[in-house]
């Protein structure tokens, strides 16, 4: 099932995409897609809904962050082999972990607002997943049972703040609008293999990143297990899993986003994002 939240910021309603690609309103059944709705029993109940009997939503809609009430926004760095190579860094022996501020979260097609004075804002397409049940000291073989679903993410990054302001990545990742998520949350049953998804990001129509999640160093299951060993993952938590090669910083010379640029990104089964840089 493809679940989403649509409408203006702070006024989003819950919807779903039907088999014909049309938006259906679920707000009479689901007040908001908060963490408790990500429990397996709740998702099974939603999957039983006849979407063709739900109200059709017409016209172009804004898609907000697909999950409300997010409590942790966790990120993985250097998790694609070719990206580590373009960065001139060794393959990590353990996942590189950092966080983005919750205030960086934004809708799939919301504008990217350049950080004040930024001249090094970069793009990073990423596979995201959302936790459905509390995960604590989870084995790899049991890890995917804790995932409610998957989403598309752009880990927008201000490289000067990330790399030249005392080396704390979260500082370059946490500006408002630097965490577009969505357009929808594809429940786990929709994605047969999260390690076999094609992904692509373009800037002004030019392909910058084209890869597959098969290039990930640590799989989704391994990441859930690893994170759960030193932190409790809660329902509704968003984890984004790293970016492939092709970021602006890795180009020669480096390329960064400028006012007026348009970023489009997509991952198999997870939809498309389009952001204008302002």
Helix ranges (DSSP H) in the chain:
40-47, 81-86, 140-143, 159-163, 169-173, 220-230
**Which pLDDT score is estimated for 165?**
87
Query: In Å, how far are 168, 171, 266 from 98, measured between CA atoms?
Result: 9, 10, 23
Name the pairing type of β-strands 13-17 and 2-6: antiparallel
Specify the number of domains making up the chain. Answer: 1
Structural domain including 78 reads 68-276
What is the DSSP code string of 215-271?
GBSS-HHHHHHHHHHHS-B-TT-EEE----S--GGGSSS-----TT-EEEEEETTTE
**Which pLDDT score is estimated for 117?**
94
**Which pLDDT score is estimated for 86?**
80
23 within a domain of the structure (yes/no): no
Task: Please state, in angstroms and rounded to a whole number, the distance separating the CA atoms of residues 14 and 4.
Answer: 6
**Which pLDDT score is estimated for 84?**
81
DSSP label of 135: B
Q: What is the pLDDT along the chain (278 residues), one digit of tens a residue?
A: 999 999 999 999 999 999 999 999 999 999 999 999 999 999 999 999 999 999 999 999 999 999 999 999 999 999 998 888 887 878 899 999 999 999 999 999 999 999 999 999 999 999 999 999 999 999 999 999 999 999 999 999 999 999 888 878 999 999 999 999 999 999 999 999 999 999 999 999 999 999 999 999 999 999 999 999 999 999 999 999 999 999 999 999 999 999 999 999 999 999 999 999 99
7 within a domain of the structure (yes/no): no
185 within a domain of the structure (yes/no): yes
79 within a domain of the structure (yes/no): yes
**Which pLDDT score is estimated for 93?**
94
This prediction has a pTM of 0.97
53 within a domain of the structure (yes/no): no
Residue in the block written with tokens 């000291």: 137
CATH code of the domain covering residue 103 = 3.90.850.10
**Which pLDDT score is estimated for 168?**
81
183 within a domain of the structure (yes/no): yes
Task: Please state, in angstroms and rounded to a whole number, the distance separating the CA atoms of residues 114 and 56.
Answer: 35
Structure tokens at 151: 């989403």
Task: Give 142's contacts (C-beta < 8 A, 6+ positions apart).
Answer: none
112 within a domain of the structure (yes/no): yes
11 within a domain of the structure (yes/no): no
């Amino acid at each position: 099932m493809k679940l989403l939240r649509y409408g203006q910021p702070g006024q989003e309603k819950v919807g779903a995409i039907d088999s014909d690609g049309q938006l259906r309103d679920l707000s009479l059944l689901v007040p908001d897609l908060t963490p408790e709705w990500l429990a397996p029993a709740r998702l099974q109940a939603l999957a039983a809904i006849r979407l063709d009997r739900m109200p059709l939503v017409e016209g172009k809609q804004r898609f907000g962050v697909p999950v409300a009430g997010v409590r942790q926004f966790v990120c993985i760095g250097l998790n694609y082999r070719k990206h580590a190579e373009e960065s001139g860094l060794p393959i990590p022996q353990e996942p590189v972990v950092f966080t983005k501020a919750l205030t960086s979260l934004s809708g799939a097609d919301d504008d990217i607002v350049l950080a004040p004075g930024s001249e090094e804002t970069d793009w990073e397409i990423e596979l995201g997943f959302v936790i459905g049940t509390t995960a604590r000291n989870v084995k790899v073989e049991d890890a995917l049972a804790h995932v409610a679903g998957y989403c598309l993410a752009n880990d927008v990054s201000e490289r000067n703040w990330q790399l030249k302001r005392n080396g704390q990545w979260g500082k370059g990742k946490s500006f408002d609008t630097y965490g577009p998520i969505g357009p929808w949350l594809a429940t786990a049953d929709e994605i047969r293999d999260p390690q076999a998804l094609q992904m692509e990001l373009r800037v002004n129509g030019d392909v910058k990143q084209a890869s597959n999640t098969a290039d990930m160093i640590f799989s989704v299951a391994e990441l859930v297990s690893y994170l759960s060993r030193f932190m409790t993952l809660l329902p509704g938590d968003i984890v984004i899993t790293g970016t492939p090669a092709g970021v602006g910083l890795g180009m020669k010379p480096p390329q960064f986003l400028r006012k007026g640029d348009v970023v489009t990104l997509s991952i198999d089964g997870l939809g498309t994002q389009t952001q204008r840089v302002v």
